[in-house]
Amino acid sequence: MRPVHMSLARVERGLRQRSSPQLGDSDAARALVEWLGTKRSVVALTGAGVSTGSGIPDYRGPQGSYRHGHRPMSHDEFLGKEENRARYWARALHGYSAFAAAEPNAAHFGLARIPQIAAVITQNVDGLHERVGTENVVALHGRGDRVRCMSCDFEGSRAEYHARLRADNPQLEVSEATELRPDADADVAFTGAELAAFRVSPCERCGSVIKPDVVFFGDVVPRARVDKCFDYLDKADGLLVAGSSLAVYSAFRFVDRAHKTNLPICVLNLGPTRADVEGIPITKVEAPARVLRDVAGLLMVR
């Protein structure tokens, strides 16, 4: 009998196991079309693997940022020290321009054209699903192009906030990032003196702390957002996971819900997922998310 909630450390160990053989794109597309053929209303749950084709790396994949020693800043670290916020925003000034310039890829366009897709729950904060006109998108972990005040809930444009940061820190020479991260962080090192001199622009309304409007590690997804996802899922006749290892519970909860309500689950991913580790019955398609474009093409000619 599988555990109710497996620890993240145990899940991470399980994700290092050998994956099943990768399918060719055409075979993978046909397998997905066969699974979708009996469905009328499917919820898609997408992860970082959907956006790697846009140049935004994932965390846990073979070329993921975790493989290069990256550890994203946690919610408590960001709020706990001014120095941490200075480091975050100084690095973000280098990395965000490349992140913001990313364009939708074949996976985004393909998913938007699959008629059975009724809603998309995405772990990504890049806004690329919305860019191609996908309807009923829930950005589970927020939006990287927005900022929010932690005291008065003021919301604003991240681009405008970055302009304030640059104006408040004329001494900082902003260059292209040497390595882009999934959270728009950048692989840039600063000296203690540089961070001490960096001024973190406060909320223009109340003077408090501004944070990207995304769910950092250690934070929780707003309850209303989770409930909206559950509402979509409860009306669906299938769950399609694309490009996600499902390692974090914030996303895995929807697979768990689908399993407990006997909702068919299909997972399109390269490598093992938490569903595999926890022994949840799924239809597994071992292939990159780009095959969603081929799936849409096959469905259009049926």
How does pLDDT run across 136-161, given as a tens digit for each residue?
999 999 999 999 999 999 999 999 99
How does pLDDT run across 260-270, given as a tens digit for each residue?
999 999 999 99
Task: Return the H-helix or E-strand segment holding 162.
Answer: helix 158-168
CATH topology of domain 1-56+104-140+219-302: Rossmann fold (3.40.50)
How does pLDDT run across 98-111, given as a tens digit for each residue?
889 999 999 999 99
Contact partners, residue 193, CB within 8 Å, separation at least 6: none
pTM of the model: 0.88
| Exposure class string for 137-160: b at 16+ Cβ within 10 A, else e | bbbbbbbbbbbbbeeeeeebebee
Query: Is residue 245 scored above 50 in pLDDT?
Result: yes
Q: Both tokens of residue 169?
A: 């820190």
Q: Do 148 and 157 form a contact (C-beta atoms < 8 A)?
A: no
**How many other C-beta atoms can be found within 10 angstroms of the C-beta atom of residue 171?**
9
Q: Residues comprising the binding site for Zn(2+)?
A: 149, 152, 203, 206
Return the active site residues. 141
**155-157 and 142-149 beta bridge pairing:** antiparallel
Would the CA dihedral through 213, 214, 219, 223 be positive or negative? positive
Residue with the bigger pLDDT between 189 and 285: it is 285
Distances (CA, A) of 13 to 63, 144, 241, 273: 17, 29, 21, 11
Give the separation between CA 230 and CA 248, rounded to whole angstroms: 17
State the pLDDT at residue 193: 81
Give the separation between CA 278 and CA 256, rounded to whole angstroms: 10
For the chain, give every domain's residue range: 1-56+104-140+219-302, 61-101+147-214
pLDDT-derived band at 186 (thresholds 50, 70, 90) equals low
Q: Residues comprising the binding site?
A: 149, 152, 203, 206
